[in-house]
Structure 1
Amino acid sequence: MRSRRQPRIAALLLAGLTLTACQQAPPSPPPQNGYGATERAFVELSIATDEQALKLVTLDDNPSLVENREAELAALRTLLDAPYVNNHAGHDMPGMPTDAEIQLAATSPDARKQFVHAHLTEQLEVLRSAGAAITHPPTAEVVKLMEQHRTAELTLTGP
């Protein structure tokens, strides 16, 4: 995770995921319940990000970070309307710690602090973009929960 990423990338990422999801399946009528390609893309991306972040925050001495990721993963999985497949394994995306970053964080407290902070701030940008795009009420509630978590976590962990 790099601090040079601009907030616009979060919106572009979510839009790109929506387009990718739309291209993977033939066009279909709008969902009756409001859970569509944007929501699916958000849920799948968030599960992949939280699974990676869990590896990072487990290294930190802050149990609430771990508890929040576990609660989010449980809530996100209830939103899935099909089996989960991690299409983002190995990707380097805003808010998602890489394996190399996690390895470095395991040996360097300074790197760990930097990567946790980057995860929180970058994920918050993605969540704000998602909040503007998500129309499915249960998914929007999970977005709000995650945004509340990141805001509180940034206060706890400091700059």
Structure 2
Amino acid sequence: MLKLDTTDRGILRYLQQNALLTTKELALQLNLSYTPVYERVRKLEREGIIKKYVALVNREGIGKNLVAFCNVSLKEHSRANGEKFVSAVMTFEEVMECYNISGEYDFMLKVVVNDMPEYQRFLMEKLGALDSIGNTHSIFVMSEIKHETALKV
């Protein structure tokens, strides 16, 4: 793991707020010259600290009005069965996040779709078609209270 100093942390804070900042703008914010800031950003990218740059889209603005958390239990707990499930889930565009969890269920999926009929199609035609699944439990989001993308650095 890369040891981050205050300059690295500053770069990460600014880029998490606005990834469109130029190196020149970052340098001004950090009271540094262009070259060391450029080199630091490239190092953070090479080391995988900065994974990628994205545009955050307002899901409701594109009609994605339903968020569901779907808990999944596998039929059997074998490496092959788990890998088969993970491989399939990685292809589902409706699944925004997937976590291997402990407790009553094996996986938790964050699913974002247009509406309830689309979620039902996803559940029946995609998720339900996987023979590795034992059972599922869906939880529907009524309102989003807090959603952050920036990590504290």
TM-score normalized by structure 2? Answer: 0.27
Q: Which has the higher contact order (CA 8 A, sep 6+)?
A: 1
User: As a proportion of its length, which structure holds more helix?
Assistant: 1
User: As a proportion of its length, which structure holds more strand?
Assistant: 2
TM-score normalized by structure 1? Answer: 0.26
Larger radius of gyration: 2
